[in-house]
Structure 1
Amino acid sequence: MAPKVNVIMLGVRDMARAKRFYAEGLGAEIEQDYPNFVSLTLGEGSSSLALYEWDAAAQDAGVSSEGSGFRGVSFHYGAGSREEVDEVISKAEAAGGSVVRKPESAQWGGYFGYFADPDGYLWKVATAS
Protein backbone atom coordinates (compact mmCIF):
# COMPACT_ATOMS: atom_id res chain seq x y z
CA MET A 1 0.00 0.00 0.00
CA ALA A 2 1.37 3.40 -0.97
CA PRO A 3 0.94 6.17 1.59
CA LYS A 4 -1.65 8.81 0.77
CA VAL A 5 -2.11 12.12 2.58
CA ASN A 6 -5.76 13.19 2.60
CA VAL A 7 -5.68 15.60 5.55
CA ILE A 8 -2.98 17.68 7.19
CA MET A 9 -3.84 18.52 10.82
CA LEU A 10 -2.35 21.46 12.70
CA GLY A 11 -2.67 21.95 16.42
CA VAL A 12 -3.50 25.63 17.00
CA ARG A 13 -3.39 27.77 20.14
CA ASP A 14 -6.15 30.19 19.08
CA MET A 15 -8.85 28.68 16.86
CA ALA A 16 -10.46 31.99 15.88
CA ARG A 17 -7.09 33.44 14.85
CA ALA A 18 -6.16 30.32 12.87
CA LYS A 19 -9.54 30.28 11.08
CA ARG A 20 -9.14 33.93 10.12
CA PHE A 21 -5.61 33.36 8.88
CA TYR A 22 -6.38 30.36 6.67
CA ALA A 23 -9.93 31.21 5.54
CA GLU A 24 -10.00 35.00 5.28
CA GLY A 25 -6.28 35.63 4.87
CA LEU A 26 -5.26 32.83 2.49
CA GLY A 27 -8.67 32.01 1.00
CA ALA A 28 -9.18 28.41 2.15
CA GLU A 29 -12.82 27.33 2.26
CA ILE A 30 -14.27 26.13 5.58
CA GLU A 31 -16.00 22.73 5.18
CA GLN A 32 -16.71 21.90 8.83
CA ASP A 33 -16.66 24.26 11.80
CA TYR A 34 -16.84 22.98 15.39
CA PRO A 35 -15.56 24.60 18.61
CA ASN A 36 -12.30 22.56 18.76
CA PHE A 37 -12.03 21.46 15.11
CA VAL A 38 -12.25 23.11 11.69
CA SER A 39 -11.79 21.45 8.30
CA LEU A 40 -10.72 23.58 5.32
CA THR A 41 -10.44 22.92 1.59
CA LEU A 42 -7.15 24.08 0.09
CA GLY A 43 -8.18 23.67 -3.53
CA GLU A 44 -8.48 21.02 -6.19
CA GLY A 45 -5.75 18.41 -6.07
CA SER A 46 -4.68 19.38 -2.56
CA SER A 47 -5.11 17.68 0.81
CA SER A 48 -7.60 19.11 3.27
CA LEU A 49 -6.33 21.17 6.19
CA ALA A 50 -7.69 20.45 9.65
CA LEU A 51 -7.24 22.85 12.55
CA TYR A 52 -7.55 21.20 15.95
CA GLU A 53 -7.29 23.02 19.29
CA TRP A 54 -3.72 22.41 20.52
CA ASP A 55 -4.43 20.72 23.86
CA ALA A 56 -7.34 18.70 22.45
CA ALA A 57 -5.14 17.45 19.58
CA ALA A 58 -2.44 16.35 22.03
CA GLN A 59 -5.01 14.64 24.23
CA ASP A 60 -6.50 12.86 21.21
CA ALA A 61 -3.05 11.49 20.33
CA GLY A 62 -2.26 10.63 23.95
CA VAL A 63 0.82 12.85 24.14
CA SER A 64 1.88 15.91 26.12
CA SER A 65 0.89 19.30 24.71
CA GLU A 66 4.19 20.86 25.87
CA GLY A 67 6.75 21.78 23.23
CA SER A 68 7.79 24.66 21.03
CA GLY A 69 10.33 25.70 18.43
CA PHE A 70 11.08 24.12 15.08
CA ARG A 71 8.91 21.06 14.57
CA GLY A 72 10.97 19.52 11.76
CA VAL A 73 8.22 20.07 9.19
CA SER A 74 7.25 22.68 6.61
CA PHE A 75 4.43 22.91 4.11
CA HIS A 76 5.19 23.72 0.49
CA TYR A 77 3.10 25.78 -1.91
CA GLY A 78 4.02 25.35 -5.58
CA ALA A 79 3.57 28.73 -7.27
CA GLY A 80 3.36 29.30 -11.00
CA SER A 81 5.34 32.54 -11.08
CA ARG A 82 7.53 34.89 -9.07
CA GLU A 83 4.55 37.23 -8.80
CA GLU A 84 2.47 34.46 -7.24
CA VAL A 85 5.22 33.75 -4.69
CA ASP A 86 5.27 37.44 -3.73
CA GLU A 87 1.45 37.59 -3.61
CA VAL A 88 1.04 34.53 -1.36
CA ILE A 89 3.70 35.72 1.07
CA SER A 90 2.17 39.22 1.14
CA LYS A 91 -1.30 37.75 1.81
CA ALA A 92 0.09 35.61 4.63
CA GLU A 93 1.79 38.62 6.23
CA ALA A 94 -1.34 40.78 5.88
CA ALA A 95 -3.38 38.02 7.52
CA GLY A 96 -1.16 37.88 10.62
CA GLY A 97 1.62 35.54 9.54
CA SER A 98 5.27 36.52 9.56
CA VAL A 99 7.80 36.54 6.75
CA VAL A 100 10.58 34.18 7.77
CA ARG A 101 12.63 34.48 4.59
CA LYS A 102 11.89 37.14 2.00
CA PRO A 103 11.42 35.83 -1.55
CA GLU A 104 14.64 35.49 -3.50
CA SER A 105 16.13 33.73 -6.49
CA ALA A 106 17.27 30.21 -5.70
CA GLN A 107 20.55 28.57 -6.67
CA TRP A 108 18.53 25.83 -8.43
CA GLY A 109 16.85 28.38 -10.71
CA GLY A 110 13.54 28.90 -8.93
CA TYR A 111 12.26 31.68 -6.72
CA PHE A 112 11.13 31.11 -3.13
CA GLY A 113 10.38 32.51 0.29
CA TYR A 114 9.06 31.33 3.66
CA PHE A 115 6.30 32.54 5.95
CA ALA A 116 5.08 31.27 9.31
CA ASP A 117 1.42 31.11 10.25
CA PRO A 118 0.37 32.62 13.62
CA ASP A 119 1.19 29.33 15.40
CA GLY A 120 4.68 29.19 13.88
CA TYR A 121 4.11 26.55 11.18
CA LEU A 122 6.46 27.16 8.27
CA TRP A 123 5.27 27.45 4.68
CA LYS A 124 7.67 27.56 1.73
CA VAL A 125 6.29 29.23 -1.39
CA ALA A 126 8.32 28.50 -4.52
CA THR A 127 8.40 28.30 -8.28
CA ALA A 128 9.86 25.23 -9.95
CA SER A 129 12.21 27.27 -12.09
Structure 2
Amino acid sequence: MSLPMSAVMLGVQDLARARTFYTEGLGFTVAQDVPGFVALSQGAGAPQLALYEWEAAAQDAGVASAGSGFRGVSFHLNPAAREEVDETMRSAVAAGGSVVRAAAGADWGGYYGYCSDPDGHLWKITTYGSA
Protein backbone atom coordinates (compact mmCIF):
# COMPACT_ATOMS: atom_id res chain seq x y z
CA MET A 1 0.00 0.00 0.00
CA SER A 2 1.33 3.44 -0.95
CA LEU A 3 0.35 6.43 1.18
CA PRO A 4 1.75 9.57 -0.43
CA MET A 5 1.78 12.67 1.76
CA SER A 6 -0.83 15.11 0.47
CA ALA A 7 -0.52 17.96 2.99
CA VAL A 8 1.29 19.35 5.99
CA MET A 9 -0.92 21.23 8.44
CA LEU A 10 0.39 23.98 10.71
CA GLY A 11 -1.54 25.39 13.63
CA VAL A 12 -1.15 29.19 13.63
CA GLN A 13 -2.13 31.94 16.07
CA ASP A 14 -3.07 34.53 13.44
CA LEU A 15 -4.31 33.13 10.15
CA ALA A 16 -3.98 36.40 8.18
CA ARG A 17 -0.42 36.96 9.42
CA ALA A 18 0.57 33.39 8.55
CA ARG A 19 -1.04 33.67 5.10
CA THR A 20 1.05 36.80 4.41
CA PHE A 21 4.25 35.08 5.57
CA TYR A 22 3.75 32.04 3.35
CA THR A 23 2.51 33.85 0.25
CA GLU A 24 4.68 36.97 0.31
CA GLY A 25 7.65 35.57 2.23
CA LEU A 26 8.02 32.06 0.81
CA GLY A 27 6.11 32.29 -2.47
CA PHE A 28 3.24 29.85 -1.88
CA THR A 29 -0.04 30.42 -3.73
CA VAL A 30 -3.49 30.21 -2.15
CA ALA A 31 -5.41 27.10 -3.21
CA GLN A 32 -8.31 27.52 -0.75
CA ASP A 33 -9.21 30.27 1.71
CA VAL A 34 -12.19 29.77 4.03
CA PRO A 35 -12.87 31.05 7.54
CA GLY A 36 -10.37 29.43 9.92
CA PHE A 37 -8.39 27.61 7.22
CA VAL A 38 -6.09 28.36 4.29
CA ALA A 39 -4.62 25.76 1.90
CA LEU A 40 -1.43 26.77 0.09
CA SER A 41 0.31 25.28 -2.92
CA GLN A 42 3.81 25.19 -4.37
CA GLY A 43 2.60 23.68 -7.63
CA ALA A 44 1.78 20.30 -9.14
CA GLY A 45 3.26 17.32 -7.35
CA ALA A 46 4.06 19.14 -4.09
CA PRO A 47 2.04 18.50 -0.94
CA GLN A 48 -0.26 21.32 0.13
CA LEU A 49 0.52 23.39 3.18
CA ALA A 50 -2.58 23.85 5.31
CA LEU A 51 -2.86 26.67 7.85
CA TYR A 52 -5.41 26.07 10.58
CA GLU A 53 -6.20 28.23 13.60
CA TRP A 54 -4.07 26.96 16.53
CA GLU A 55 -6.87 26.33 19.03
CA ALA A 56 -9.09 24.70 16.40
CA ALA A 57 -6.23 22.45 15.23
CA ALA A 58 -5.54 21.30 18.80
CA GLN A 59 -9.25 20.68 19.39
CA ASP A 60 -9.50 18.75 16.11
CA ALA A 61 -6.65 16.46 17.22
CA GLY A 62 -8.01 16.16 20.75
CA VAL A 63 -4.87 17.56 22.42
CA ALA A 64 -4.02 20.57 24.60
CA SER A 65 -3.06 23.72 22.71
CA ALA A 66 -0.36 24.79 25.20
CA GLY A 67 3.34 24.30 24.43
CA SER A 68 6.20 26.14 22.84
CA GLY A 69 9.86 25.84 21.88
CA PHE A 70 11.28 23.28 19.51
CA ARG A 71 8.50 21.08 18.26
CA GLY A 72 10.76 18.36 16.85
CA VAL A 73 10.25 19.34 13.22
CA SER A 74 11.58 21.73 10.61
CA PHE A 75 10.57 22.26 7.02
CA HIS A 76 13.06 22.70 4.20
CA LEU A 77 13.09 24.73 1.00
CA ASN A 78 15.86 24.14 -1.52
CA PRO A 79 16.57 27.02 -3.89
CA ALA A 80 19.19 26.47 -6.59
CA ALA A 81 21.79 29.07 -5.53
CA ARG A 82 23.19 30.92 -2.52
CA GLU A 83 21.72 34.20 -3.73
CA GLU A 84 18.26 32.62 -3.70
CA VAL A 85 18.79 31.45 -0.12
CA ASP A 86 19.58 35.03 0.90
CA GLU A 87 16.66 36.40 -1.12
CA THR A 88 14.24 33.90 0.44
CA MET A 89 15.46 34.73 3.94
CA ARG A 90 14.97 38.47 3.27
CA SER A 91 11.48 37.88 1.88
CA ALA A 92 10.55 35.74 4.87
CA VAL A 93 11.65 38.45 7.32
CA ALA A 94 9.88 41.18 5.34
CA ALA A 95 6.68 39.12 5.54
CA GLY A 96 6.80 38.77 9.33
CA GLY A 97 9.25 35.92 9.91
CA SER A 98 12.43 35.95 11.99
CA VAL A 99 15.98 34.83 11.28
CA VAL A 100 16.85 31.99 13.64
CA ARG A 101 20.25 31.20 12.11
CA ALA A 102 21.79 33.53 9.55
CA ALA A 103 22.65 31.92 6.21
CA ALA A 104 26.26 30.78 5.95
CA GLY A 105 28.43 28.21 4.24
CA ALA A 106 28.45 24.68 5.63
CA ASP A 107 31.32 22.22 6.06
CA TRP A 108 29.57 19.85 3.65
CA GLY A 109 29.71 22.44 0.86
CA GLY A 110 26.19 23.76 0.96
CA TYR A 111 24.80 27.08 2.17
CA TYR A 112 21.85 27.47 4.51
CA GLY A 113 20.03 29.46 7.15
CA TYR A 114 16.96 29.04 9.33
CA CYS A 115 14.01 31.35 9.67
CA SER A 116 10.78 30.93 11.56
CA ASP A 117 7.28 31.87 10.64
CA PRO A 118 5.33 34.18 12.99
CA ASP A 119 4.26 31.14 15.05
CA GLY A 120 7.78 29.76 15.49
CA HIS A 121 7.66 26.98 12.90
CA LEU A 122 11.23 26.47 11.62
CA TRP A 123 12.17 26.68 7.95
CA LYS A 124 15.63 25.69 6.71
CA ILE A 125 16.48 27.44 3.47
CA THR A 126 19.38 25.55 1.89
CA THR A 127 21.21 25.00 -1.35
CA TYR A 128 23.47 22.00 -1.79
CA GLY A 129 25.67 23.48 -4.48
CA SER A 130 28.64 25.75 -3.94
CA ALA A 131 27.49 28.27 -6.55
How much is the aligned-residue C-alpha RMSD, in angstroms?
Answer: 1.1
| Alignment partner, residue 102 of structure 2 | 102
Q: Give the counterpart letter for 2:85 in structure 1.
A: V
If the length of structure 1 is used for normalisation, what is the TM-score?
Answer: 0.94
Q: Secondary structure at the match of 2:93?
A: helix
Greater displacement, 27-36 / 11-20: 27-36
Q: Show the 5 A alignment for 1:107-126.
A: 107-126=107-126
**For 1:15-47, what per-residue CA distance to the aligned partner results, in whole angstroms no more than 9, with x for missing partners?**
111111112332211111111111011234321
Aligned to 1:127: 127
Structure 1: gaps of 5 or more residues: none
- The answer to whether the Cα contact below 8 Å between 2:25 and 2:88 also exists between their aligned partners in 1 is no
Q: Which residue of the partner structure matches residue 9 of structure 2?
A: 9
Rounded to whole Å, the distance in 1 between the matches of 2:57 and 2:3 is: 22
Moved more, 10-19 or 26-35: 26-35
Deviation string 1:58-106 (CA, Å, 9 cap, x unpaired) is 1111111111111010000111000111011010011110011111000
Structure-1 separation of matches of 2:45 and 2:81: 19
Counterpart position of 1:78: 78
Runs of at least 5 residues in structure 2 that lack an aligned partner in the other structure? none
SS in 2 for 1:58: helix
